[in-house]
Amino acid sequence: MRYLILSDIHANLEALEAVVEEARGSYDEVVCLGDLVGYGADPNAVTDWVRSNAAHVIRGNHDKACCGLEEPTLFNPMARFAVEWTYDKLTDDNRRWLRDLPQGPLDVGPFLMVHGSVLDEDEYILDSRDAAQQFPHMFERLVFFGHTHVQGGFFLRSVNGQPAEGEASPEGLEFRKGDSLMVNPGSVGQPRDYLWTAGYAVYDTEARSVVYHRCPYPLQEAQDKIVRAGLPQSLADRLAVGR
């Protein structure tokens, strides 16, 4: 089974469509790690696509805020503006669907899905020190996470009988038996790793391999839509720098 792993699409339809087009034929099922909406100009089109195409979806912090489940008190003013804009734009049906999304961790068999971390859906796993706190709670499982918008991964595995921690290479990594693995596919719609291209990953359960991808998309179109929608200019600008 080959899974297309998507996270943090953030209502960027241009990025989502480019990823789907590029990945066509390379996967059997889609999963989504949350933050479908917030920041971008197409919350309904993105939500509709995920509703009809993803086998498993969990909620992110922006989904919670944008459907009215949680007050965006911890959001910066720009993000809060986007939350309120998105809340108004979402159809009642999509708002209801987002409200009903499960919270991670969600065990789908070959792996666990979380938005932030195994212990807290709103926690940021930014470096190997953060990941090390997770390993004791993972029981040698593969965990896909998002939230940081940074493509990458962390592992704890046995090397010559000794436990060794490390980070994924830019191409991807292998999930060996006995590994504890935290993998972030990157953000489809608002990367923050200084690359503007859409991030995603494909996991092949037979090869036990995670492969990272970066996909160019019509950036200008996504930016123009954000500005035309009356969303903050800075939300359009940051897409170009991947930050």
Site size toward Zn ion, by CB under 5 A: 2
Sign for the pseudo-dihedral over CA of 211, 31, 46, 243: negative
Q: Provide the minimum distance between the beta carbon of 138 and Zn ion in the complex, in angstroms, as a whole number.
A: 22
Q: Provide the minimum distance between the beta carbon of 164 and Zn ion in the complex, in angstroms, as a whole number.
A: 30
Nearer to Zn ion, 8 or 121 (CB): 8
Binding segment for Zn ion (CB under 5 A), chosen from 28-36, 73-81, 96-104, 193-201, is 28-36
Position 35 contacts Zn ion (CB under 5 A): yes
Q: Provide the minimum distance between the beta carbon of 159 and Zn ion in the complex, in angstroms, as a whole number.
A: 33
Nearer to Zn ion, 11 or 156 (CB): 11
Nearer to Zn ion, 192 or 208 (CB): 192
Task: Tell me phi and psi for residue 196, to 5 degrees.
Answer: -85, -20
Q: Provide the minimum distance between the beta carbon of 166 and Zn ion in the complex, in angstroms, as a whole number.
A: 25
For residues 73 and 34, give the distance between their C-alpha atoms in angstroms, rounded to a whole number: 19
Task: Tell me phi and psi for residue 103, to 5 degrees.
Answer: -95, 145
For residues 116 and 124, give the distance between their C-alpha atoms in angstroms, rounded to a whole number: 5
Both tokens of 112, joined, read: 């666990």
Nearest one of 66, 62, 59 to 34, comparing CA atoms: 59
Nearer to Zn ion, 134 or 187 (CB): 187
For residues 150 and 227, give the distance between their C-alpha atoms in angstroms, rounded to a whole number: 25
Both tokens of 111, joined, read: 């792996």
Binding segment for Zn ion (CB under 5 A), chosen from 17-25, 33-41, 175-183, 224-232, is 33-41
Nearer to Zn ion, 61 or 180 (CB): 61
Q: Provide the minimum distance between the beta carbon of 176 and Zn ion in the complex, in angstroms, as a whole number.
A: 29
C-beta nearest to Zn ion: residue: 35
Position 179 contacts Zn ion (CB under 5 A): no
Nearer to Zn ion, 8 or 193 (CB): 8
Distances from the Cα of 34 to the Cαs of 174, 185, 234, 243, in angstroms?
A: 24, 12, 23, 19
Q: Provide the minimum distance between the beta carbon of 199 and Zn ion in the complex, in angstroms, as a whole number.
A: 12
Q: Provide the minimum distance between the beta carbon of 185 and Zn ion in the complex, in angstroms, as a whole number.
A: 12
Residues 6+ apart with CB under 8 A from 128: 154, 165, 166, 167
Position 8 contacts Zn ion (CB under 5 A): yes
For residues 109 and 56, give the distance between their C-alpha atoms in angstroms, rounded to a whole number: 11
Residues that bind Zn ion (CB under 5 A): 8, 35
